[in-house]
Amino acid sequence: MAKSTVKPNKVKIMRVIARLNVGGPAIHTILLTDRLNNDSFETKLVSGTVSAEEGERTIHLTFWLSLVLAPEMLY
């Protein structure tokens, strides 16, 4: 009997975080989104914006993560 070459659909995951500042929850969310098995999961990260006084992590993330910025999510 031949093995099936049809791959099952990927599980879709959307993570939503209020803002990607320089704190621990932002780091955890980024790492989990980045390192989940891409063969089995399709992930998207949605984040609000940070205030002008906070440090932020979004500028360099758009190069490798599927990141959606939602400025209407207030901090």
Q: How many CB atoms lie within 10 A of CB 16?
A: 13
- pLDDT at residue 15 in the model: 92
Per the structure, how many domains does the chain have?
Answer: 1
What's the pTM?
A: 0.71
Per-residue pLDDT of the chain (75 residues; tens, 9 = 90+): 556 565 678 999 999 988 888 888 888 888 888 888 888 998 888 988 887 787 776 656 655 677 888 877 765
User: Does residue 63 sit within a domain?
Assistant: yes
Q: Which domain holds residue 20?
A: 11-69
pLDDT value, residue 49:
83
Q: Is residue 54 part of a domain?
A: yes
Residue 8 Cα distances to 11, 15, 18, 34, angstroms: 9, 22, 32, 21
Is 1 inside a domain boundary? no
Q: List 38's β-bridge partners, or say none.
A: none
